[in-house]
Amino acid sequence: MVGQSYALNTPTLAIRTLPDGKRVPITIPKGAVLKITAGPLGDTRLVLVEWDRQMVTMFTIDLQERGSVNNEPRA
């Protein structure tokens, strides 16, 4: 669901790709709001999400199990 937003209920792991192509793990904090920007939602699939003006990848299952659909309007 491209465009769907989730609010995290618990800190969750994501992967950030640096300009040199290196991938580094980061922890996104509880309460963060993430917007899905690309990728199919499937339990074992990675999706591209926007968080804090960064693009990161996460597993769909992490969003579904550790987050809640965010229906609040974005500013």
Domain positions in the chain:
5-69
What gap in Å lies between CA 67 and CA 6, rounded to an integer? 6
What gap in Å lies between CA 8 and CA 62, rounded to an integer? 9
**pLDDT of 75 over the 60 cut:** no
| The pLDDT of residue 43 | 61
Whose structure tokens read 């580094």? 24
**pLDDT of 51 over the 90 cut:** yes
Segment 44-58 mean pLDDT: 91
Tally of helices (H runs) and strands (E runs) in the chain:
1, 7
What gap in Å lies between CA 44 and CA 53, rounded to an integer? 25
Which pTM does this prediction carry? 0.81
Quick: pLDDT tens for 1-24: 678 899 999 999 999 999 999 999
Segment 14-43 mean pLDDT: 90
